[in-house]
Amino acid sequence: MLATAAVALSVASFGAAPSASASAKNSSSVTTITWWASPISTSGGPDLRKVLVADFEKAYPNIKVSLQTAPTDTDTNRADLVTTISGGATTPDVFMGDVIWPGQFGAHSLALPLSKYLPKSFFSRFASGLVAGASYGGQVYGAPFFQDQGFLFYRTDLLKAAHMAVPKTWQQLASDGTALAKAGKVKYGFVWEGDAYEGGTCDFMEYYADTGGQVLNSSDTASVLNVGDVTKVLTFMRSLVSSGASPASVDTFQEPQAQNAFQNGQAAFLRNWDYAYSSSQATGSKVIGKVGVAPLPTFAGQSYPGYSNIGGWNLYINPHSKNTSADTTFINYMTGTQAETVMATQFSEIPTNAAVRANPAVKKLNPPFAVLSQTRLVPRPAQNPNYPKISQAIYTNMNSALAGSTSPSSAASDMASQLKAALTSGGL
């Protein structure tokens, strides 16, 4: 976490978020809304949620916010909300939810279509790719609140000694990683998340997006998975192991395993989320002062940089809420420049607001922030209510090819078949 005093940055310099509802600010009556949100800041310092609520209530004294702490486990959180909202409860009014919920919550009337209540100009504030990931059926259901994404972390000392540039293509990364490992400079060339779980889908989507491929059609109702492109992606991912660039055990790696290998000095390159940088510089790490951050590579012949998968959280509105005007005012403020700047400067959360991401003062805060405006974002295919089964079809077959138990071509065909089946299965 960054101390406020360490950042000579005025929130006011970015300008306050415009009001989504002038009546909410000027009315003499007081409206109370309930915000359901899991803890965001966990380092023992101030509670980010309470800081933002206090700022909001100061800006809008006629709206009070009752904070309800949601479960930290995403699946438990989701299950609780499904039960509560499907039962017709009018609270919580606003809830913080995963970026992969729009399809499920939109299809089952568990969230309000924000694009029917907020102007089109509201959605232009977000970084490219975020609104598409928050949509379902032509409507936007989630307001991007704070996010995460994939980055390339690399050993600056190893690359300097070997006279290597930061790789801009996956092929170059594989070649350099293999060379460093075979020369005994490091145990592993490149570590990442290859296990059969949601993180595997995230990594796969980055490679696949770099081919220009899409999983769902424009209406998010049918698969347009290109088996040929998937075969190429899986062939490359498997080659990372067979060439020696990545360890054979990478098919069991999730974020902690990949991170531990990198910060213990065992790997030259790492694909992980933004927290990986601060973790690599924490006490006990063997790579303090030796880590650089860059956008992810792409395949040779494609425009650099590659795509980074979107993680993070959105703000949704309960369709049974009796306080829609106050709810949209709250969401407008929380995604505006003032609140997003507080999240970035005081709590090191990646802002979704494009103006805040691009501001030079914010970019100076840490290496991941410095490259945010250079990155390209791709969502997972969560704009369909059957996303859990869609993701399972992706990560199980990706992992099977990576482990060598299925050929890349067979795994690609199986992925396509299982995707079609997933799209006709049940919802929640």
Say whether both 122 and 168 belong to one domain. Answer: no
- Amino acid 23: pLDDT: 45
- Residue 427 located in a structural domain: no
Per the document, the length of the chain is 428
Q: Which amino acid is at 6?
A: A
Assess whether 157 and 241 both reside in one domain.
yes
Does residue 42 lie within any of the structural domains?
yes
Going from the C-alpha of 265 to that of each of 192, 252, 290, 367, the distances in angstroms are 15, 19, 10, 19
Rounded Cα distance, 280 and 154, in Å: 11
The tally of domains found in the chain comes to 2
Half-sphere exposure of 21 (CA within 13 A, CB side): 20
**CB 123 within 8 Å of CB 335:** no
Q: Are residues 143 and 155 in the same domain?
A: no
Whether 352 contacts 130, CB under 8 Å? yes
Which residues contact residue 279 at a Cβ distance below 8 angstroms, ignoring those fewer than 6 apart? 259, 263, 285
Domain presence at residue 161? yes
Whether residue 334 is found in the same domain as residue 301: no
Contacts of 425 (CB under 8 A, 6+ apart): 386, 389
Within-domain flag for 344: yes
Q: In Å, how far are 50, 112, 267, 362 from 55, measured between CA atoms?
A: 9, 25, 43, 20
Instruction: Kindly state whether residues 403 and 339 are assigned to the same domain.
Output: no
Tell me the pLDDT of the chain (428 aa) as tens digits.
333 333 333 333 333 344 444 444 555 699 999 999 999 976 678 999 999 999 999 999 999 999 999 999 999 999 999 999 999 999 999 999 999 999 999 999 999 999 999 999 999 999 999 999 999 999 999 999 999 999 999 999 999 999 999 999 999 999 999 999 999 999 999 999 999 999 999 999 999 999 999 999 999 999 999 999 999 999 999 999 999 999 999 999 999 999 999 999 999 999 999 999 999 999 999 999 999 999 999 999 999 999 999 999 999 999 999 999 999 999 999 999 999 999 999 999 999 999 999 999 999 999 999 999 999 999 999 999 999 999 999 999 999 999 999 999 999 999 999 999 999 876 56
Residue 11 confidence (pLDDT): 35
Q: Which residue has the tokens 């998937």?
A: 230
Residues 280 and 327 in one domain: no
Q: Per the domain annotation, does 274 fall within a domain? A: yes
Asked if the structure places residue 170 within a domain, the reply is yes
| Same domain, yes or no: 164 and 304 | yes
Asked if residues 386 and 426 have their Cβ atoms less than 8 Å apart, the reply is yes
Residue 18: predicted pLDDT: 43
Residue 41: predicted pLDDT? 77
Strand order from edge to edge, sheet including 267-272: 188-191, 267-272, 151-155, 291-294
Q: Which domain holds residue 235?
A: 151-308+382-422
Within a domain: 373: yes
pLDDT value of position 378? 97
Q: Looking at the structure, tell me whether residues 178 and 109 fall in a common domain.
A: no
What is the predicted pLDDT for the residue at 27?
54
Same domain as 268, residue 142: no
Residue 131's CATH number:
3.40.190.10
Give the span between the Cα atoms of 34 and 81, in whole angstroms.
13
The verdict on 71 and 10 lying in the same domain is: yes
85 and 170 in a common domain: no
Claim to verify: residue 323 and residue 392 sit in the same structural domain: no
Cβ atoms within 10 Å of 45's Cβ, excluding its own: 12
